[in-house]
Every structure is written in C-alpha cells, then in structure tokens.
Amino acid sequence: MRRTATLSLLATGITAVLALSACHRGDTVAQAPAADAAQPADKSAPMREAAPIDAGVADAAAAEPEAVVVTGSRLPRARKDEAAAPAATLSRRDLRGQAAKSTAERSLAQANYAPAPSAPPPPPPLSVAAPSMPAQGLIAGVPAQPEAANTERYAEHDDNPVKRVTEAPVSTFSIDVDTGSYSNVRRMLRQGVRPPADAVRAEEMINYFDYGHPGPSSLATPFRVTTELAPAPWNGKRQLLMIGIKGYDVPKTELPPANLVFLIDTSGSMQSADKLPLLKQSFAQLVEQLRPQDRVSIVVYAGSAGLVLAPTSGAEKDTILAALDNLSAGGSTNGGAGIQLAYATAKQAFVKHGVNRVILATDGDFNVGTTDRKALETLVGDQRKSGIALTTLGFGQGNYNDTMAERLADVGDGSHAYIDTLQEARKVLVQEMQSTLLTIAKDVKIQIEFNPAQVAEYRLIGYENRLLAREDFANDKVDAGDIGAGHEVTALYELTLTGSGGDRLPALRYALPEAIGGARSAELAHLRLRYKRPGEDASRLIETPIARPHEPRRAAPSAAMRFATAVAAYADALRGGKNIDGWTWTDIARAAREAAGADPWKQRAEFIGLVDDARRITAGDAPQVGMIAD
C-alpha cells in the first residue's frame, strides 16, 4: 500500500513538472478526457480559406491541410520537398539545414492553426510606407543564406551556336519581355554568391533596360521595328546587329478597366521576410495605383485554395489593403488548386474589352495537388483561351522555382519578373504598370533571313528557350510572346561579314555557291515580324530589309547600342565568357560607364556596381549558389 501511494505521488509530480515545462514553452497541454485532445483549428485566425465561388473547384472550406495532433495543436504534415534524401546525397550541413527549416515551419504552422493562449501576439505587418531597402538588396535584418539555395530550380540551357548562313540562312524566335533573370542574379551577387550559369538568361538581362527605341505614332500598327549595326567591341572583325521593337505607349489614365486577381502563395515556405512580407508591400504599391473602375480579387493557396477578397472596386483601397495585411503563411503548397480558383474568379468578374489578368506571386514551390510542371502548363494554356492572361512574380530564395514561374508566364500570355526589393516592385508594378497589365500585341515572332553574299556567320545572343522552327513562323497555332503597352524588346546578333576574316567555323570543302549579286546584294538581311491583335486569331505581317551601311558614312555606335552590348557581355561573362574573346570585367564596366547616359532611376549606375561585384566574386572564387537543373 505504501509502495502504491509512493508511485502515485511520483506520477503526480512528474505530470506537474511536464505541465510546467509545457507552459514555459508555450505548448498546449492535452486535457482529459482523451477525446478532447485534438482541438479544431481557430476559425478566427487570419488566412482562413473561404469556399470557392465556382463549381468544379476544390472545396476550400473543407480541405484544410492534412494534420497530426500534438498536445492539442494541429500541425501540418511534413511537406513532400522536406522528405529526407538518401544519406549518400546529403551532407551534414544539408541535413542540419533541412531539420532547421522543418522545425521553423512546424512552429509557424502551430502558431497559425492553433495559437497557444499564452503565446505573445504576432508582430504587426510591415508598413506599406517602409523605408528603402538597404544597399545589399535585402530587407533589413534578413541574413544572406546562400547555402540554403540548393533546391532552387533553373531550366538548363546552352548558348546559341554560331551558324553558317549558307547552311541555315533563317533564324526564328519568339520575343521575350521577361526580366526576372536580371533581378534574381542581382540578389545573388549582392549576397556575394556567384549565380549558376542557367540562372543567367541574356535576353532578360538586356531587356531589363530601356534603350529609347522610337515608338509607333498610333495603335493601328502597335509597334515599330528599328535596327542598328556596329563593330563588336571584343572583336573588330565581327559586327553586332541590334533589333529594337517599341510598343505603342498607353498612358495610365487611358488604360481600360482592369479585372485583376491577386493569386498569392501563403504556404509555409513563404514565411521569411523576403517572401510574404515583401509580397504584401509590393502589391500594396499596385493597389495605390488602382482607379474606381478597376476590380481586385484576392485568392490564396496553401494546402487548399480560398477566396479572401471577392471582386472589389479600386476605390476601396483600405478594404483591399486590410485583406493583404491579414495574410499569413503556413501549410503545404497546392498551386494547381489556387490557379483553378483564380481563373474561376477572373471569369466571374470578366471585363469585356478590359484588362483581365491573374497575377501569381510565389516562390514556385508547389508540392501538393498538381505539381508536375507540364500538367500546370497545360492547365494555364487551356485557361489562356478565355482571354485571361497570367503574370508571375517570383519571391525569395532557398527553394525558388525559377523554371516553374517563367514557364507558366510564357504559356499564360504574360510576363515574369522577380521581386527582390521594394524598388524592384515599384519598377514592375508602378513605373511599368501599363506594360505589365495591358497587352497590345500577341504571339509576336521574329524571323531574320541573312544574305550569304554579305553575311558568312551569325549567332543570336540569348533567347535560347524562345527559338522556333522555321515553319512555326507562319503557323498561327504556335504560341509566342506578347508585348505590353510601351514595352521595349531588344535582340542582338553577332555577325561575321563575308570576307572579314572573323569566321569561327572551318571552311567547307564543298561549299554552296554564294548568292548572286544584283539589286539585293547590299542587303545584310530581311526581317519579318508576325503578331496578332488582342482578340484576333489571324496574324499580321511586317517586313523590312536591313541594309549594310556604306563604310565611309558609317556613324559611331549609339549610346543605346553600346550599353546593350555591355549588358550582353556581362551575361556572357557570368556564364563563363566563352563568346566575348577575352573581354574582361574591366572592359565591360568601362563600356557601361561610357554609355550610361541619362539615368533617372539609377538603374544603369546599379548595373555598373553589379559588374564590379561580379568581378570581385569571380576573382575570389566565391561559392556558386546550388540549384536543381530542369
């Protein structure tokens, strides 16, 4: 009897100690009876998923993230991308990093779904009027963590090869207005990390800047094409051909009414300061530009998708901003369900002859539901036919899926940008608002036919994932890039003129006879461009010859040409410098400084600083950010 009493007293003491320890940690202690141990999630917490507004979309109200019960709290199950890899492929640092990440996400999820009564209140949301970002491009207090970037995904691509005109006289590609590669690479360089080669897309580097290409006089022809030829600064025996396309600029005040759906990733992977907090501040800047005739909806997705804000007039800015402020991160990432609900919402608020667009903001880390990239591309491609475009905005680091974000924008008739600072958000969503939102020409394709009597070899700089087959140019069923109001598109070719001595390919023993001279012998090439007007299915054709300048009258290269050349060389140097004949970082920086010209937004000055950063990083043999090539 005495022994039984002693054991009972000991058990009581242990229980008390455990309860005291749990209270100290802020955990919820399970109460008797056992059936009460699993308490439902707090339905008043922010980011509760609302029911979908259209049949056929996953039931968001009933589809909470799968959970396990731990001392009265509901914690999301481990995400698929956090499953432990085989020991042979993970270092101890990787394992520690994954364990830390998993612990942080479990803690955040516990706070979101069942906050303990004794837990302190969450910190207030970041102010929309926050000060400018620090020089390193990150939110203050967020340390650079390059070692966590080993799950970032970039599509593998090789530089375009040199082609002989007598063998392949025609070059065809889709235009590209994306800029995400530039700002993403900037983020890495500011952290002292050398970007992986596949993160560098030359055309997105070049198209980050405006070059002052002349625009059309009216919307009847939505853009104007110009060309310029100048010697390549890294090899005087070759020439650079710049093709500039400028879209018709529509003032913000004349934009048609907009029906926008903010599709926001609120999964656990979005919790860091450079993701959801920066995302909310970024969208707040766009909200301030809205007019009463515009409509905004907010759809979020984590383990399931939900409608946070039904279509709301742009005049109700406080309501829209409050909905943004209340968002928090937690759970897994069902991006497919979110995309479906976003399109359903956009369809119900569709504005005829207006701007209808879904803006997807995410780190691209889809891990439940429809996760296959091809399946998601098919989903977006099908929805594109309804007249609703998709723009993607990438955020964050560590698990950023660049491949997913870029491809969904491509098939969704939209553009892709990467937001690393509030300044970048302002550039994309405020300064370039009309080009980001309003499409003036669809499926824009370029085809250049080079004259073998004048051009021996050519190489297209960038656009590797935009190349088209020759027969695709006239096929209106083949999708291509779109141009927004006021957008500029710039493409560069490196040419070897016939007889210049700059040939890189070995001579053929049985070469085809050169083109016969005559009326067209002075033409370098013939440029063709196809596009569709919004709402039309048949393309229109623009053609123009490109004449070879008369040597004695040749003018010096324009500042725009010289700066674009410096940016192209910067991209090539980041990828290994195989195509710039020994041109150095010093040469690139000098060329950029001499051609910087007017720089009201200090973007060109920033670029020159990035060239200096890249020189120091490559000279110091800095670590390269990890990635997964797709």
Q: What is the mean pLDDT of residues 320-326?
A: 97
| Domain co-membership, 451 together with 587 | yes
pLDDT, residue 174, reads 98
Query: Is residue 17 predicted with pLDDT exceeding 70?
Result: no
Q: With both helix axes pointing from N to C terminus, report the angle between 559-574 and 585-595 in degrees, rounded to the nearest 10.
A: 150
Q: CA 317 to CA 586: how far, in whole Å?
A: 48
What local confidence, expressed as pLDDT, does residue 552 receive? 54
Residue 172 has pLDDT above 90, yes or no: yes
The pLDDT assigned to 621 comes to 61
User: Which of the given ranges, 50-59, 295-304, 376-385, 567-576, has the highest pLDDT on average?
Assistant: 567-576
**What is the distance between the alpha carbons of residues 117 and 418, in angstroms, rounded to a whole number?**
38
- The more confidently predicted of residues 26 and 278 is 278
User: If pLDDT is split at 50, 70 and 90, which confidence band does 334 have?
Assistant: confident
Residues 180 and 193 in one domain: yes
Taking residue 227's Cβ as centre, other Cβ atoms within 10 Å add up to: 18
| Statement: residue 29 has pLDDT above 80 | no
> In total, how many domains does the chain have?
2
Return the minimum-mean-pLDDT range out of 18-22, 268-272, 372-376: 18-22
Give yes or no for residue 521 having a pLDDT over 90.
no
Give the pLDDT band of residue 509 (cuts 50, 70, 90): confident
- Write out pLDDT tens, residues 565-624: 999 999 999 999 999 999 999 999 999 999 999 999 999 999 999 999 999 999 876 666
- 598 part of a folded domain: yes
Average pLDDT, whole number, for the chain?
80
**Mean pLDDT along residues 494-504:** 95
Residue 76 located in a structural domain = no
**What integer pLDDT is reported at residue 92 of this predicted model?**
36
Q: Are 278 and 414 within one domain? A: yes
Asked whether residue 245 falls in the same domain as residue 269, the answer is: no
Q: In angstroms, how far is the first alpha carbon of the chain from the final one?
A: 70
Asked if the model's pLDDT at residue 481 lies above 80, the reply is yes
What's the mean pLDDT in 143-166? 80
Q: Which is higher by pLDDT, 470 or 41?
A: 470
- Pairing mode, strands 540-547 and 455-461: unpaired
| Contacts of 547 by beta carbon, 8 Å cutoff, 6+ apart | 522, 523, 524
Q: Are residues 594 and 619 in the same domain?
A: yes
Give the integer Cα–Cα distance in Å for 206 and 175.
12
pLDDT tens digits for range 174-206: 999 999 999 999 999 999 999 999 999 999 999
Q: In terms of residue numbers, what domain contains 266?
A: 253-426
H or E element: which one contains 286? helix 276-287
Nearest alpha-carbon partner for 359 in 423, 292, 285: 285
18 has pLDDT over 50: no
294 and 209 in a common domain: no
Query: What confidence score (pLDDT) does residue 463 get?
Result: 98
Q: What is the β-pairing status of strands 235-247 and 223-232?
A: antiparallel
| CB atoms inside a 10 Å sphere around CB 14 | 10
Cα dist from 22 to 42, 165, 182, 590, whole Å: 20, 75, 48, 62
Least confident of 73-77, 383-387, 587-591, 592-596: 73-77
Residue 387's contacts (CB-CB under 8 Å, 6 or more residues apart) are 350, 356, 535
What is the mean predicted confidence (pLDDT) over 89-94? 38
Query: Is residue 124 a part of any domain in this protein?
Result: no
Which residue type is seen at 67? A
Q: Does residue 291 sit in the same domain as residue 232? A: no
Is the pTM higher than 0.85? The answer reads: no
Give the H or E element holding residue 346: helix 335-348
Using alpha carbons, select from 534, 588, 571 the residue that is nearest to residue 207.
571
Domain identity same for 470 and 554:
yes
Q: Please, are residues 207 and 490 in contact by the beta-carbon 8 Å criterion?
A: yes
Q: What is the pLDDT of residue 365?
A: 73
Does residue 62 belong to any structural domain of this protein? no
Query: Which of 369, 403, 426 is a domain's end point?
Result: 426
Specify if 185 maps to a domain. Answer: yes
Please report which confidence band the pLDDT of residue 385 belongs to, taking 50, 70 and 90 as the band edges. confident
| Residue from 389, 513, 367, 477 nearest 66 by CA | 367
Q: Do 336 and 206 share a structural domain? A: no
**pLDDT given at position 626:** 59
**Predicted confidence (pLDDT) at residue 123 exceeds the cutoff of 80:** no
Tens digits of residue pLDDT in 395-419: 999 999 999 999 999 999 999 999 9
How far does Cα 104 stand from its chain's mean position? Answer: 26
Which residues, other chains included, contact 597 with Cβ-Cβ below 8 Å and sequence gap of 6+? 559, 563, 604
Give me the CATH number covering residue 259.
3.40.50.410
- Is residue 142 pLDDT above 60, yes or no? no
**Residue 216's CB: how many other CB atoms inside 10 A?**
16
Does 296 have pLDDT greater than 90?
yes
Domain ends where: 371, 393, 426? 426
Whether the predicted pLDDT of 76 surpasses 50: no
Same domain (yes/no): 457, 567: yes
Q: Is residue 195 part of a domain?
A: yes
Is residue 355 situated within a structural domain? Answer: yes
Does residue 57 belong to any structural domain of this protein? no
Question: What percent of the chain is predicted at pLDDT more than 70?
Answer: 72
Q: End of a domain among 426, 457, 474?
A: 426
Residues 391 and 364 in one domain: yes
Residues 405 and 448 in one domain: no
Which of 141-155, 393-407, 421-435 has the lowest average pLDDT? 141-155
Query: What ranges make up the beta strands (E) of 355-479?
Result: 355-362, 389-395, 416-419, 439-450, 455-461
